[in-house]
Amino acid sequence: MRPILMKGHERPLTFLKYNKDGDLLFSCAKDHTPTVWFADNGERLGTYRGHNGAVWCCDISRDSSRLITGSADQSAMLWDVKSGKQLFTFNFDSPARSVDFSVGEKMAVITTDPFMGLTSAIHIKDIAANPADQVAESKLVIKGPQGRINRAVWGPLNKTIISAGEDAVVRIWDAETGQLLLENDKEVGHKKPITSLAKSTDGSHFLTGSLDKSAKLWDIRSLTLIKTYVTERPVNAVAMSPLLNHVVLGGGQDASAVTTTDHRAGKFEAKFYDKILQEEIGGVKGHFGPINALAFNPDGRSFSSGGEDGYVRLHHFDPDYFKIPSI
């Protein structure tokens, strides 16, 4: 499996996302400019200029017409995917960390960081079909969790919001009222900050990765812990194959400590696990630095990883990969 190296960012990658059709790959980095690539050959298609800070997260509408990005410049932006035009800017008083479109794209959930005395918050915005009708007001603001909320996504039928962050707790909120519905069982939950969260394609379960060197699979409705994947390094990014029962974990030693040891010491591999048996089945090496972002192509035949080293590595699986026996 020879990866395609995509060098378009000057700073560490933060987030990767494929569109629904799996032909486009959107990448976010600390260099202010989200970029879109052809998911097949890694050719750069265009950039979205306008942010004035690190871009932490993005989401693409189902019809690949809209892009939403959240940035450290205390704003979230709506873009026209095709033309790269800014359609609307949501301004906040603190950096926007995570963004996610609801089913039907009539709403978006945006999280903001604790900043200058402000606590972290989850904002729910209405998204107008026509950008001209777009309003900046939040439909609902949820506050409560201590520390940064690293990721918030929609639950089934847009009825709930699932959030996870620095306090290591996964929470489910009512998306209508903002009430806290569920918190994960402390006994089995993560012990250190949760860095990433990925939903399954059908939205029935999700995977969280944490600095406690593990990833956990949860039921999205009951918040029951289903699986735990244990690794040797802090997990920064997680992804689930839509095709096979595989999960991928990426991460590594803290970026500030990597130069002090052998390059293998950081273990900057993307590790594949059997989703059901929780056993490690393989690894993909390559990045010089921790992996910050992982995404599976919706067809399950390729995946990409984004690293602290500023590269996106696009891997098309060898035919052998699909022959990995499963139970």
Partner 1 sequence: MADVMSMDDIRSEAARLNIDLSSIDWDSVRVPPGQDFGIKSDDEDLNEEDSLEFDGGFGNVIIVDNLPVVAREKFEKLEGVVRKIYSQIGVIKENGLWMPVEEDTGKTRGYCFIEYNTPQEAELAKEKTNGYKLDRAHIFAVNMFDEIDKFMKVPDEWAPPEIKPYTPGENLQHWLTDEKGRDQFVIRAGSDTEVLWNDARQVKADPVYKRPFWTESFVQWSPLGTYLATVHRQGAAVWGGASTFNRLMRYAHPQVKLIDFSPGEKYLVTYSSHEPSNPRDTHRVVLNIFDVRTGKVMRDFKGSADEFAIGGTGGFTGVSWPVFRWGGGKEDKYFARMGKNVISVYETETFSLIDKKSIKVENVMDFCWSPTDPIFALFVPELGGGNQPARVSLFQIPGKEELRQKNLFSVSDCKMYWQSNGEYLAVKVDRYTKTKKSTYTGFELFRIKERDIPIEVFELDNKNDKVIAFAWEPKGHRFAVIHGDNPRPDVSFYSVKGGKVLKLTTLKQKQANALFWSPSGRFIILAGLKGFNGQLEFYNVDELETMATAEHFMATDIEWDPTGRYVATSVTSVHEMENGFNIWSFNGKLLYRILKDHFFQFLWRPRPPSFLSPEKEEEIAKNLKKYSKKYDVQDQDISVLLSEQDREKRKQLKDDWERWVNEWKKYHEEEKEARRALRDGEDSDVEEEYEAKEVEVEEELDVKEEVIPDA
Give me the residues that bind partner 1 (CB under 8 A), please: 22, 62, 102-104, 106, 156-158, 201-202, 204-205, 213, 219, 221, 226, 230, 232-233, 242, 245, 253, 257, 262, 264-267, 275-277, 298-301, 327
Looking from the CA of 305 toward its CB, the CA atoms found within 13 Å total 30
Q: How far apart are CA 11 and CA 310, in angstroms?
A: 5
DSSP state of 318: P
* Residue (10 or 219) nearer to partner 1, CB: 219
Shortest distance, position 48 Cβ to partner 1, whole Å: 25
* Residue (141 or 265) nearer to partner 1, CB: 265
Q: How far apart are the first and last CA of the chain?
A: 24
Shortest distance, position 91 Cβ to partner 1, whole Å: 28
Burial of 2 (0-12, 13-18, 19+ CB in 10 A): exposed
Q: How far apart are CA 16 and CA 67, in angstroms?
A: 13
> Could you give the 3-state DSSP secondary structure of residue 319?
helix
- DSSP for 305-317, written as a single string: EEETTSEEEEEEP
Structure tokens at 57: 């997260």
* Residue (21 or 119) nearer to partner 1, CB: 21
Shortest distance, position 153 Cβ to partner 1, whole Å: 15
Shortest distance, position 55 Cβ to partner 1, whole Å: 27
In this structure, the number of other CB atoms found within 10 A of the CB of residue 41 comes to: 10
Q: How far apart are CA 151 and CA 155, in angstroms?
A: 13
Edge-to-edge order in the sheet of strand 280-284: 235-240, 246-251, 270-274, 280-284
Shortest distance, position 276 Cβ to partner 1, whole Å: 5
Shortest distance, position 246 Cβ to partner 1, whole Å: 13
* Residue (89 or 253) nearer to partner 1, CB: 253
Shortest distance, position 116 Cβ to partner 1, whole Å: 32
* Residue (48 or 218) nearer to partner 1, CB: 218
Q: φ, ψ for residue 323 (rounded to 5)?
A: -95, 0
* Residue (264 or 323) nearer to partner 1, CB: 264
* Residue (20 or 143) nearer to partner 1, CB: 20
Shortest distance, position 204 Cβ to partner 1, whole Å: 4
* Residue (95 or 251) nearer to partner 1, CB: 251
Q: Facing residues of 313 across strands?
A: 5, 305
Judge whether 31 and 11 are in contact, CB under 8 Å: yes
